[in-house]
Homo-oligomer: A and B are copies of this chain.
Amino acid sequence: MKRSLHVLFAAAAFITLASCGGKSGESTDSAVAAEPVETIKWKLATSWPKNFPGLGKGPETFAEYVNEMSGGRLEVRVYGAGELVPGFEVFDAVASGSVQMGHAGAYYWKGKMPAAPIFTTIPFGMNATEMNAWLHYGGGMELWRELYEPYGVIPFAGGSSGTQMAGWFKKEINSLEDFQGLKMRIPGLGGEVFKEVGGLPITLTGGELFTALQTGAIDATEWVGPYNDLAFGLHKAAKYYYHSGWHEPGTMLEFTVNKEAFEALPKDLQMIVEVATRAANQDMLDEYTARNPNAMKQLLSEHGIEMRPLPKDVIEALKVATAKVIKQKRSDDEAFDKVYASYDAFYQSVKAYHKISEQEYYENRE
């Protein structure tokens, strides 16, 4: 059996090497056919600094998978924010076809599409496992594709950071009062909910965070979690690190592909792109899950930060405010209402199941 496989393989490999190198319409000389197959070159623009840990590794992993699986027929090159287009213009660049792919967060496009943040994360919403299930087996992906369809953009799940942290605060938060009036960098729906309970949400890019927090221009900031936050040095600008991330319980990033470019690929390369996004999606959560615990230990033991849970009255007020913000959005935007209806039906169902499985197990294993 093994021997016959070897023979088969040797034949197949020889055919591939020998016949794929020729130019179109020429007869192929197998003796000199080692030159590479012509390559389709794709640009992938991201919203992150080039090689940024975690978030920025996702698209690099994807590109590596595609480049190797396609045997060099499709070559994806990754560009950091600002290299080709600014981080917040990735979607437009993919839509226009000036790049073939993007890696970002759907909630960055909420000005264009109010429903987009639902595909990233919602305050008090689904965690990473649940988001993946909704997207791939609960109808979420179909709604996401529908939302981006008018722009000629195809979305794919692009990796999850898992449950984020509530953020860094310069002062202790002992009650809802301490929370009110704070100037905090918190984007997306989380920011709107924060405003609803009396906070002052600020939008800043990642690169502006540290200085704003250190100079006191802001009182608090959320970012991602221990692994990314440690890399940014946020512990040098604020002492109190609050958990858990009520505002981003399972932040899902996105790969976007220009539809015309995708459809121009032969079927095998289309499948390679799709499966590579799926594997890169998994890989990011694996990495965060492995690296966050070590970063947390380092923050505690080497940098003397104080980790605290947000007080119960803060959590309760944020929940009430979340319901209010979502209700308003459902009445303001038809697409938000439609997508949220699907999200929420799935969520209520999986929440009940996880309560007696994952959640109960977490308690039992203590």
Chain A residues engaging chain B, CB cutoff 8 angstroms: 1-2, 5-6, 8-9, 11-16, 18-25, 27-30, 37-41, 65, 68-71, 73, 97-98, 100, 124, 127-130, 132-138, 162-163, 165, 225-226, 243-246, 249, 258, 260-261, 264-268, 271-272, 275-276, 278-279, 281-283, 285-287, 289-294, 296-297, 307, 309, 315, 346, 349-366
Contact = CB atoms under 8 A, between A and B. Distances in A.
Given A268-B69, A296-B353, A358-B127, A15 B5 contact: no
Given A73-B12, A278-B279, A296-B353, A361 B127 contact: yes
A225 B268 contact: no
A127 to B, nearest CB: 6
Copies of the polypeptide in the assembly: 2
Nearest to A353: B293
A260 B19 CA distance: 25
Given A69-B271, A361-B127, A24 B28 contact: no
Contact of A9 (B8, B265, B289): B265
A355 B365 CA distance: 11
Contacts of A69: 69, 268, 271-272, 275
B279 A275 contact: yes
Most B C-beta atoms less than 10 A away, residue of A2, A28, A71, A364: A364
A220 B307 CA distance: 44
Contacts of A12: 37-40, 73
Contacts of A11: 24, 38
